Amino acid sequence: MTSAAMTPIQRGFSAAEYLICLNGIVWREALRFLHQRERFISALVRPLVWLFIFAAGFRQVLGLSIIPPYETYILYEVYIAPGLMAMIQLFNGMQSSLSMVYDREMGNMRTLLVSPLPRWFLLSCKLLAGTAVSLLQVYAFLLIAWFWDIAAPPTGYLTVLPALVLSGLMLGALGMLISSGIKQLENFAGVMNFVIFPMFFASSALYPLWRILESSPMLYYVCLFNPFTHAVELIRFALYGQMNWIALAVVGGCTIAFMIGAILAYDPSRGLIRRGPAGGET
Amino acid sequence: MTATDAFSAGQSTQGFPPRPDAVEMPALSIEGVSHAYGTRRALIEIGFSVAPASFTALLGLNGAGKSTLFSLITRLFGIQHGRIGIFGHDVAQTPGEALRLLGVVFQPRTLDLDLSVTQNLLYHAALHGIGRRDARARSGEVLARIGLADRAGSKVRDLSGGQMRRLEIARALLHRPRLLLLDEATVGLDVKARADILNHVRQLVAEQGISVLWATHLFDEIGSNDDLVVLHQGRVLAQGKVARVIADAGGSDINTAFMRLTGSAAQSGSPTS
């Protein structure tokens, strides 16, 4: 065929088509999440165990001075609530990426990737869908915490929403970036241990940074360079109607960097290549 | 009407207007395409085309390179060398326009088992930018045609293998493509389910003018009037009408022709070794 013959009509895609696609991907993720009740329950139980058991025992040990955004002395449960909200998003981000590896191996990702819309858009939609699911979990957690008298100012439940969206995107993009390097599902659990636990414990989720500085300056700097710390602080301040600009800059910058990295690194052939010679699908 | 009758009845031609860009262009053109996994070459300078409104069988043993070729056509893999066009749209240059005209049934199941039959269809429609109301109408139509209307609310994991395949074909047609790729679509199905699916796809060609590339390793799925491409160890050994390929190979039927062709290829050395 000559190139002169390659002059077909090009229609392009309308904004409505993009929106329908986004809506469809978010809807599908929400459906899958609601169908997997065990996942929903475990996503709630994890932070509640920290809140009701760990924090209850730990508050007698750890003293907290008045630090922004708090204007008075607070219970330890109140302090760790934003960290646990971020933890929900951290686990959800990693779980979403785990499901992407699973979908890639099972073949479901092909349904998504043969869509005519641009691949960067499809992957961004997946991230947004994962973030939307994490919001459901976080607000369910906040509701239970509210019954436990761990309440933020009423407007805080609204002002925290943009912070949760941004941190959810950052952690989801990080998960997607990690999943791009995973060749097979079996490798994912090990990677989770090297990401989730270090990120969570080396942050301000469980203890304020000044406390860490007192005990270990080196660990303090590790925490300071941990983007999860800034996600926690962004959520903490937003929950009280305040803005932590440094946290916003770090989380925003990391979100962009992780998203670009994840989209560039995503290779749909990775799972297929592995299956090829062994499974006969070549 | 039984499920099989409904399935075999084919789809109506309503709502499938001919596209102006479909005229005088091959439905699919493969030009000098090569692909390697590291040092292992899966496809070597292959080239052929699929005419509009035709049924083309892509015949090859396991490992011939059929699935690799499908992954290239659907842009799951980046094209390393060569050019692939779908109704004139270059898959590498304008993938969106090319994929809009393409429906695919992959060899492994790609349905979401935890979602219902209708939910799977609505999800696929959304991925092609089809609004919810239109998608629901189309889903109802295709489910009625394939005899699964009464299973619309069932979870996909509760369907039989044949029903899943029929659903995958219906899903691939939901956005009204002009070219349909099916990669070993009948693998694992019983004889009747295989025949039903093959008949249905042939009716799509005859009644709706859809072009079909049917990858298979089963000789009995190839009809005497089909176009045929023989792929072996990453190379196209023969292409043309089935009768012509058989005559050129000096065989008495497709089976002996294939054995002669692949035997010759083996004698001249394995290209993937």
Q: What is the CATH number of the domain that holds B90?
A: 3.40.50.300
Q: Which residue in chain B is spatially nearest to A11 when comparing CA positions?
A: B97
Taking 50 as the threshold, does the pLDDT of residue B12 lie above it? Answer: no
What does the pLDDT read at residue B265?
59
B38: in domain = yes
Structural domain boundaries in chain A: 17-271
Chain B contact present for A68, CB below 8 A:
no
Q: For A15-29, A128-142, A206-220, which range has the lowest pLDDT when averaged over its residues? A: A206-220
Confidence of residue A6 (pLDDT cuts 50, 70, 90): very low
Q: For A19-28, B116-125, B251-260, which range has the lowest pLDDT when averaged over its residues? A: B251-260
Average pLDDT over residues A242-262: 93
What is the value of pTM for the model shown? 0.81
Q: Which of B26, B123, B129 sits opposite A1 (nearest CB)?
A: B26
Phi-psi region of B152 (alpha: psi -120 to 50; beta: other; left: phi over 0): alpha
pLDDT digits (tens, 9 = 90+) for A62-100: 666 667 777 777 778 888 899 999 999 998 888 887 777
Chain B contact present for A282, CB below 8 A:
yes
Chain B contact present for A184, CB below 8 A:
no
Chain A contact present for B271, CB below 8 A:
no
Residues of chain B neighbouring A108 (CB-CB closer than 8 A): 110-112
Chain B contact present for A112, CB below 8 A:
yes
Q: ipTM above 0.85? A: no
The residue ranking higher by pLDDT, A163 or A47, is: A163
B257: in domain = yes
B152: in domain = no
Residues of chain B neighbouring A266 (CB-CB closer than 8 A): none
B145: in domain = no
pLDDT digits (tens, 9 = 90+) for B155-182: 999 998 888 988 998 999 899 999 999 9
Taking 90 as the threshold, does the pLDDT of residue B137 lie above it? Answer: yes
Domain that holds residue B254: 7-111+177-267
Beta strands B55-59 and B102-105 are: unpaired
Taking 50 as the threshold, does the pLDDT of residue A193 lie above it? Answer: yes
Chain B contact present for A18, CB below 8 A:
yes
Number of domains in chain B: 1
Residues of chain A neighbouring B104 (CB-CB closer than 8 A): 110, 114
Residues 132-171 of B with CB under 8 A from A: 132
Residues 16-35 of B with CB under 8 A from A: 19-21, 24-26, 29, 31
Most confident option among A32-41, A180-189, A257-266: A257-266
Largest CA distance in chain B: 58
Are A36 and B137 in contact by the 8 Å Cβ rule? The answer is: no
Are A165 and A135 in contact by the 8 Å Cβ rule? The answer is: yes
Tell me how far the alpha carbon of residue A192 is from its chain's centroid.
13
Could you tell me the strand order of the sheet in which B179-183 lies? B102-105, B179-183, B211-216, B55-59, B227-232, B235-241
CB B115 to CB A31 under 8 A?
yes
